[in-house]
Amino acid sequence: MDHSIRASTSAASSTRIVDVLVPVALNQAYSYRVPRGMELKPGDVVCVPLGPRQVVAVVWAENARPAPRLHNRLKDVGEKLDVPPLREELRSLVDWVSNYTLSARGMVLRMTLRMGENLGPERARVGVRLVGEPPPRMTPARRRVIACLSDGLLHGKSDAAREAGVSAGVIDGLVDEGTLATEVMPPPPPPPAPDPAFAQPQFSRQQRSAVDAMRTLAANGSFHTALLDGVTGSGKTEVYFEAIAETIRRGRQSLILMPEIALTGQFLDRFAARFGARPLEWHSELTPRTRARNWAAIASGAAPVVVGARSALFMPYADLGLIVVDEEHDQAYKQDDGAHYHARDMAVVRAHIAGIPVVLASATPSVETEVNARKGRYQRVALPSRFGGQHLPHIEAIDLRREPPPRGRFISPRLADEIRNAVERREQALLFLNRRGYAPLTLCRACGHRFACTICDAWLVDHRFRQRLVCHHCGFSTPRPRACPHCQAEETLVAVGPGVERLQEEAAALFPDSRTMVLSSDLITSVETMRSELNEIAEGRVDIIIGTQLVAKGHHFPRLNLVGVVDADLGLNNGDPRAAERTFQLLNQVIGRAGREQGRGVGYLQTHQPDHPVMKALVACDREAFYGSEIASRERAGYPPFGRLASLIVSAGDRPSAEGFARKLASIAPIDERIQVLGPAEAPLAVIKGRYRFRLLVKSLRNVDLSDYLRQWLAVAPKTRGNLKLEVDVDPQSFL
C-alpha cells in the first residue's frame, strides 16, 4: 500500500490534511494542510507553525476525513526536512511509552528529535592558513595567532582562535591584512567502521558457551531477551561484544546502553581494542555540532554501533538489530524529570516492537529481571567465575559496635591497618562512602542551631573544597559563616558525620606518605576530566582512592585489591522498598573492583548491623540467599514484580493547596477491588525548592493495566490550577 499523501493540484476541497505531532507537552497531534506539490507520509520530519514559532515535528497520520469547516482555519505544513523519516517502529515506541507512562506524547517525541534545531545540511567550515607577511602593526594577540599557524597548514578558523586565545575578530583582522587567507575546510573523513574480525579474544571454556548463546541470539535476530548474568570480572563485556560482532556482520546497528556515559572512557578503549574503531557516542555533553552529526549518522545507518545513556534509546536508528543494556540493575536508568521512564524496561519494549534481541548484563540483576529469568521469560546466560582464574574478593564485616573508630574519626583501626598493609605491598586501596562533600550536617555547639536549606526540607551539606554549604536538592549554596547566625557565637560550628572530603582528610592524616584522590561527581567538571582522573588511577599514580558511587561503576583498576566500605548501612534504612536490593547491588559492585587482575581482593564492610540479611549474604558470598529472601518478601508484600506500583506526587507553593488537592484526588479514585490507593501522605522530602509535596501510592495486582486505571482516574480529576503540579510516576524507583 502506498502511504503517500499527495497534494492535489485541483480544487481546494481535495486539499490533503495530515496530523502532525509536535514536541511539546501535548498528547494529541495537530492537523495541518499539505501545501501543493509536497508529498508527505507518516514519519516524515517537517517544520510547522505553532503559534508564533516554527517547530520541527513529525507527521503522525494522514487525516482522511477532517471536519470540513476546519479546512480553512488550518495552517500549512511549512517545509519537509531532508532527513530520513521516523520509522514505524520508533513511532510505535513513542505511542507505547506515552501510553504506559502517561507522559505527553509530544514530550516523548521530543526525545527522538533532540537534534531538531540543528537538522539540515552541515555548514561548510571555514579554515585559515598563513600565506603572507606579518602585518605592519603587531599585537601580542596577532603574534600568538601567527605562531599557531606557523606550520602553514589549514586550521579551522574557530580552532585557531581558541588555540591562540583570541577572538574571531583578531583572525578577521589578519585576513584583511593579507597575512592569512581563508579557505573552505574539506569535510571531516567518515570515522572508521568497527571491524568484527579485528581482534577476537581467546575465550575460556566457560565463556565459550556464553559466547555461543550471544552469537545465536544475534544471528536469529528476532525478539528474545537474555540475561547475561556474570560475576564482576567474568568478562561480560568481551562476551556481549560477540553479539555485537555478529550484528555488524549482518549489517545491522547495535545500541549499548550505559547507566552513566561519563564513565565509559575505558569502555571506548576496550571497544576499539576489540573492533579497531570507537563506537559512536550519544550523551548530553556532546557539542551541538557533534550531536547533529551523530544524530544524522544514526538515522542514515552510517553508525554501526552506538553507545549512549538512556536517551540513546529514543534515537531514530535506520536499522537497529540489537540492544545491550549494561549494568541493567542500575537505578540511573530511571529518568525522573520530564517523562518518567525506565530505560531498561523501555529497551525491552523497543526490542519487542522492532522484533530484535536484547541483552541485559549484570553481576547483580534487578529483582524484576532475576524473577523473569527464574520463570524462564528471559534466557539466563551465566558466567559464574572470574576470567583468568582470579578469585572473587573475600568479604569481611567490621562490627562498628565492637571495633569503633576513634572519636570524631570514621576509619576503624582494623581497616586502617589493612590499608597500611596494602599500600606497603604497593597495591591500591579504595575507601567507599556514598556521600558527597565534607559533612552532611553542620551545627552550632553553643545553641544547637542546624543549617538547613531555606526552601527545601533538607540539611545543608558542608563542601570544603568549594568552601560553601550546599543543598543537594535545589543547589542553593552559601559561604560557611564564621559565626552562628542564630546565637552569634564564633568558632562554635561543628561538622557532623562524614563525606568523602572529610574522609580524605582522615586518610591523609593516617597515611601521610600516600597519594590520595577523591572521586565525586561534584568535583568533576567534565567528561574529559573524569576520564583523565580515572586513567591516573588505572595507571597507579594514586595509592588511596576515596569515592562515591561514581567509582563503583565498571572501572578496571589493575592494582586495586582492597575496598573498605566506610558506612555499609547508609542506604539501608531510608524506608525505600528497594533499599536492601540497592545496597546489595552497590556494595557487591564496589567490592567487585578489587582483585581483578592479580593478588586476592578483599572487601571490608564497616557496619552497625552485621546480622542484616544484606551483610550476611555479602560476607557469605551467597547471592542465592539474598535473592531468595528478597523475592519471597516482595511476593508476600505484593511489591514488584509480583504487583504493580505507581506514585502520584502533588506539589504546590503552599502546604494546604498541595494537601487539599491530594485529598481530593484520593477521594475520587475509581473503586476497583484489585487496586489499593494509599495516602496521601506528606513526602519524605516534604519540601523541595519551596514546593510542598504529598504522595499517593497506587498498588495493584500484577495483571492490572495500571496506566489505564490512572488515565480514567485523572480524566475526572480537577484541573491543576495555579502553581499546583501533579506528577505521575508509573513503576516508581524513588519514594522520596
Q: Does 206 bind ligand ADP (CB under 6 A)?
A: no
Q: Given the rule CB under 6 A, which of 67-75, 202-210, 502-510, 652-660 is the region that contacts ligand ADP?
A: 202-210
Least separation in angstroms between CB 550 and ligand ADP: 17
Name which of 62 and 457 has its Cβ closer to Zn ion: 457
> Of 326 and 462, which has the nearer Cβ to ligand ADP?
326
For residue 67, which amino acid is it? A
* Closest CB to ligand ADP among residues 204, 504: 204
CB 129 within 8 A of CB 45: no
d(CA 661, CA 590): 43
DSSP state of 389: G
How many distinct helices (H) and strands (E) make up the chain? 19, 34
> Residue 233 binds what, of Zn ion, ligand ADP, none (CB under 5 to 8 Å, by partner type)?
ligand ADP
**Span interacting with ligand ADP, options 132-140, 230-238, 369-377, 475-483, rule CB under 6 A:** 230-238
First to last CA, the chain: 51
Sign of CA dihedral 578, 348, 266, 289: negative
Instruction: Single out the residue of 101, 112, 207, 707 in contact with ligand ADP (rule: CB under 6 A).
Output: 207
- Give the interface segment with Zn ion, choosing from 81-89, 147-155, 450-458, 672-680 (CB under 5 A): 450-458
Residue bearing cell 601580542:
140
Conformational region of residue 417, where left means phi above 0, alpha means psi within -120 to 50, and beta covers everything else: alpha
Query: Which of 322, 356, 456, 527 lies at the binding interface for Zn ion (CB under 5 A)?
Result: 456
Only segment of 151-159, 201-209, 544-552, 679-687 that touches ligand ADP (CB under 6 A): 201-209
Helices (H), 253-382: 265-275, 288-300, 343-354, 367-374
Strand, helix or coil for residue 166: coil
Binding-site partner at residue 232 among ligand ADP, Zn ion, none, CB < 5 to 8 Å by type: ligand ADP
Residue 235, contacted partner among Zn ion, ligand ADP, none, CB below 5-8 A by kind: ligand ADP
User: Shortest Cβ distance from residue 469 to Zn ion (Å)?
Assistant: 11
How far apart CA 461 and CA 301 sit, in angstroms, is: 47
Report how far Cα 512 is from the mean position of its chain's Cα atoms.
37
The residue from 108, 299, 320, 453 that contacts Zn ion (CB under 5 A) is 453
By the rule CB under 5 A, 460 interacts with Zn ion: no
The binder of 234, among Zn ion, ligand ADP, none, by C-beta within 5 to 8 A per type, is ligand ADP
Contact of residue 498 among ligand ADP, Zn ion, none (CB under 5-8 Å per partner type): none
Q: Which is nearer to ligand ADP, 43 or 233 (CB)?
A: 233
CB 230 within 8 A of CB 236: yes
- Options 41, 170, 203, 477; binder of ligand ADP; rule CB under 6 A: 203
Which of ligand ADP, Zn ion, none does residue 456 bind (CB under 5 to 8 Å by kind)? Zn ion
How many residues would you count in the chain? 736
Residue 76 DSSP SS3: strand
Minimum gap (Å) between residue 273 Cβ and ligand ADP? 8
Residue nearest to ligand ADP (CB): 235
CB 363 within 8 A of CB 232: yes
Q: For ligand ADP, which residue of 33, 105, 157, 236 counts as binding (CB under 6 A)? A: 236
Cα–Cα distance, 357 to 354 (Å, whole number): 9
C-alpha cell at 621: 558470598
Find the binder of ligand ADP among 44, 229, 238, 506 (CB under 6 A).
238
Asked if 223 touches Zn ion (CB under 5 A), the answer is: no
Task: List the grid coordinates of 165.
Answer: 586565545
Amino acid at 64: A
Cell 564497616 maps to which residue? 606
Closer residue to ligand ADP (CB): 301 or 558: 558
If contact means CB under 5 to 8 A according to the sort of partner, which of ligand ADP, Zn ion, none does residue 473 touch? Zn ion
Q: Is 377 left (phi over 0), alpha (psi -120 to 50) or beta?
A: alpha
Query: Do residues 502 and 439 make contact, with C-beta atoms less than 8 angstroms apart?
Result: yes
As measured in angstroms, the least distance from the Cβ of 232 to ligand ADP is 5
* Count of residues near Zn ion by CB under 5 A: 6
423 binds, among Zn ion, ligand ADP, none (CB under 5 to 8 A by kind): none
Q: How far apart are CA 651 and CA 18, in angstroms?
A: 38
Please report how close the Cβ of residue 107 comes to ligand ADP at its closest, in angstroms: 34
Measured CA to CA in angstroms, residue 632 lies from 29, 373, 625, 639 at distances of 45, 15, 11, 10
Q: How many residues bind ligand ADP (CB under 6 A)?
A: 15
**CB neighbour list of residue 228: distance below 8 Å, 6 or more residues apart:** 210, 214, 236, 239, 240, 359, 360, 361, 362, 381, 383
| Rounded-to-integer distance, Cα 95 and Cα 105, Å | 7
Residue 357 binding target from Zn ion, ligand ADP, none, CB below 5 to 8 Å by type: none
The only residue of 101, 103, 237, 335 in contact with ligand ADP, by rule CB under 6 A: 237
| 376: CB partners within 8 A, 6+ apart | none
Q: State which of positions 468-507 bind Zn ion (CB under 5 A).
A: 471, 473-474, 476
Would you call the peptide bond into 558 cis, given omega within 30 degrees of 0 as the criterion? no
Query: Does residue 556 belong to the site contacting ligand ADP (CB under 6 A)?
Result: yes
Q: Please give the angle made by the CA atoms of 499, 505 and 511, to the nearest 5 degrees.
A: 130
Three cell numbers written together for 21: 505531532
Residue from 66, 84, 135, 201 touching ligand ADP (CB under 6 A): that is: 201
Report if residue 607 touches ligand ADP, rule: CB under 6 A: no
- Of these partners, ligand ADP, Zn ion, none, which one is at the site of residue 556 (CB under 5 to 8 Å by kind)? ligand ADP
The answer to whether 481 touches 491, Cβ cutoff 8 Å, is no
- Residue 238 contact partner, candidates ligand ADP, Zn ion, none, CB within 5 to 8 A by sort of partner: ligand ADP
User: Is residue 461 near Zn ion by the rule CB under 5 A?
Assistant: no
| 230 near ligand ADP, judged by CB under 6 A | yes
Q: Is 233 in the site for ligand ADP (CB under 6 A)?
A: yes
* 3 state SS for 647-702: EEEEEECCHHHHHHHHHHHHHCCCCCCCEEEEEEEEEEEEEECCEEEEEEEEEEEC
Per partner kind, with CB cut-offs from 5 to 8 A, the member of ligand ADP, Zn ion, none near residue 230 is: ligand ADP
518 vs 179, 479, 593, 706, CA distance in Å? 48, 22, 16, 44
- Tell which positions 376-395 bind ligand ADP, by CB under 6 A: 387
Regarding 234 and contact with ligand ADP (CB under 6 A), the answer is: yes
- How far is 365 from 229, CA to CA, in rounded Å? 7
365 lies in the site for ligand ADP, by CB under 6 A: no
Give the one entry of ligand ADP, Zn ion, none that residue 700 binds, where binding means its C-beta sits below a cut-off of 5 to 8 angstroms depending on kind: none
**Pick from Zn ion, ligand ADP, none: which does 387 bind, CB < 5 to 8 A by kind?**
ligand ADP
What would the x/- binding string for Zn ion be over residues 66 to 105, using CB under 5 A? ----------------------------------------
235, 259, 357, 732: which one binds ligand ADP (CB under 6 A)? 235
Q: Are 305 and 257 in contact (CB under 8 A)?
A: no
What residues line the site for Zn ion (CB under 5 A)?
453, 456, 471, 473-474, 476
What residues line the site for ligand ADP (CB under 6 A)?
201-204, 207, 230, 232-238, 387, 556
